[in-house]
Amino acid sequence: MALENKLGISDSAELARVEEKVSKAKALELFEKGLLNTFEIGTFDGLAKIHSYLFDEIYDFAGKMRSVNIAKGHFRFTPVMYLEAALHNISRMPQTTFEEIIEKYVEINVAHPFREGNGRSTRIWLDAILKKEIKQVIDWSKVDKEDYILAMERSPIKDIEIKVLLKNALTDKINDRTVYIKGIDASYHYEGYNLYKTEDLDKNKS
């Protein structure tokens, strides 16, 4: 069964296809229109705006804190009853160094504030913080899917692995369209979405 959605799609495979196409195009718009520079950087409010922009055409819950408990495998994300307080605390975490920023990213992943689309929206959020604070972003196309997933799974207990992995992929090409687009494709690939190339969804192309 597919997640309840605005499009009335009941087949989960069809929903995944539509979700990928629509939200990737919206991710490109975030960059093209300079919208990321207008959102709060490093807060849940800023993350909620990213999530809402990506998924508003698909889900009623876009940009809204989840109201159900969720888990992945044996890992349970922050329970709903503690979620609002956790997000408030995460928003106030320091973000002046690379290490602090990744620690903040690990915590927002543990919180998993949305019903769906957490990873894809938080990676854009992470890059926005890195860009603002240390004038670098991650070239996600250089981060192997399996390495990333394993490092993130272990990060709540030990974050050294994800720090090393992401530090090795840093670039100072913070306004480079190609780096951003390849990053969106890689980010979606981590979650199993790889039918469409972001570049091909550019509405401005003739």
What proportions of the chain, in percent to the nearest 5, are helix, strand and coil?
60, 5, 40
The closest of 56, 206, 43 to 126, measured between CA atoms, is: 43
pLDDT attached to residue 73 = 87
pLDDT by residue for the chain (206 residues), tens only, comes to: 889 999 999 999 999 999 999 999 999 999 999 999 999 999 999 999 999 999 999 999 999 999 999 999 889 999 999 999 999 999 999 999 999 999 999 999 999 999 999 999 999 999 999 999 999 999 999 999 999 999 999 999 999 999 999 999 999 999 999 999 999 999 999 999 999 999 999 876 64
**Residue whose tokens read 């272990």:** 154
Q: Which two tokens stand for residue 7?
A: 């499009």
pLDDT attached to residue 29 = 97
The closest of 151, 156, 140 to 189, measured between CA atoms, is: 140
pLDDT attached to residue 185 = 98
Q: Which two tokens stand for residue 44?
A: 């849940």
Nearest 5°: phi and psi at 161?
A: -65, -50
CA atoms within 13 A on the CB side of 97: 4
pLDDT attached to residue 113 = 98
- Give the pTM: 0.97
The closest of 87, 140, 136 to 110, measured between CA atoms, is: 87
Domains annotated on the chain, with CATH: 12-64+75-193 (1.10.3290.10)
